[in-house]
Amino acid sequence: MKLVRFGNPGEEKPGLIDADGKLRDLSGILADLAGEALGEESLAKLKSLDTSALPLGPEGVRLGACVGKVGNFIAVGLNYADHAAESGMAVPAEPVLFNKAPSCIVGPDDTVLVPPGSEKTDWEVELAIVIGKRASYVSEADALDYVAGYCVCNDVSERAYQLERGGTWTKGKGCPTFGPIGPWLVTKDEVNTENLAMKLTVNGELVQNGSTSTMVFKVPFLVHYISQFMILEPGDVITTGTPPGVGMGMKPPRYLKAGDTMEVEIEGLGIQRQTVAQA
């Protein structure tokens, strides 16, 4: 299933995309695509619905973030060997973890804002994992039992804040609008994460062109590993790293400015389209 949230910011309703690509309204069945609504029992109920009987959503409506009320928004750094190389950093022996602020989450086509005074705002296409049930100290073998599905994330990053101002990477990762997710959450039964094509264009130029096949730490290991350090709750999001082609790695480096446009795509998970503006 392809599950969505649609409507004005803060007023999103749950929905799904049917076999004909039409938006169907789930608000008569669910309050939101959040928390326990992402559990196995709830998803099984949605899968059994006669989608043709559901009301159509409005044409051209804004899509919001495909998950609501996200508690933990966790990111994995340097999880592609070729991206680590372009960043001038070693491939880590264990996953690098940091937090993105849940308040940075926006819809897939919402405007991305360059922070005041920023000169190094960058892009990163990433595969995001959405948790479906509480996970604590889970084994790698059982890890996928705790996953609801997957979506596209643009891990927008301010590199000076991240790398030049001391402390943790979190400083450069959680500014407003730095977490577009969606357009939809695709349930795990429809996704094989081993070899998904990943692309990101800036102003029509292809800058990232990679695959999840080059991930250092794979999805089951990441869910297992992160659950050793914190409890993961339904609706939590883990964004899993980016392939090469980010602005920081270009020679000379290139960063986002007002008026730029991005298209962010992962095979089978949809396309995001964002315009950049100055905050």
Residue 55: per-residue pLDDT: 98
Domain limits, the chain: 2-53, 73-278
pLDDT in tens, 101-112: 999 999 999 999
Q: For residue 91, what pLDDT is reported? A: 84
pLDDT at 87: 75
The pLDDT tens digits for 229-241 are 999 999 999 999 9
Where the chain has pLDDT below 50, the residues are none
3-state SS track over the chain: CEEEEECCCCCCEEEEECCCCCEEECCCCCCCCCHHHHCHHHHHHHHCCCHHHCCECCCCCCECCCCCCCCCEEEEECCEHHHHHHCCCCCCCCCEEEECCHHHEECCCCCEEECCCCCCEECCEEEEEEECCCECCCCCCCHHHHEEEEEEEECCEEHHHHHCCCCCHHHHCCCCCCEEECCCEEEHHHCCCCCCEEEEEECCEEEEEEEHHHECCCHHHHHHHHCCCCCECCCCEEECCCCCCCHHHCCCCCCCCCCCEEEEEECCCEEEEEEEEEC
pLDDT at 26: 98
pLDDT at 86: 77
pLDDT of residue 30: 96
* Domain 73-278 = CATH 3.90.850.10: yes
Residue 70's pLDDT is 98
pLDDT at site 43: 98
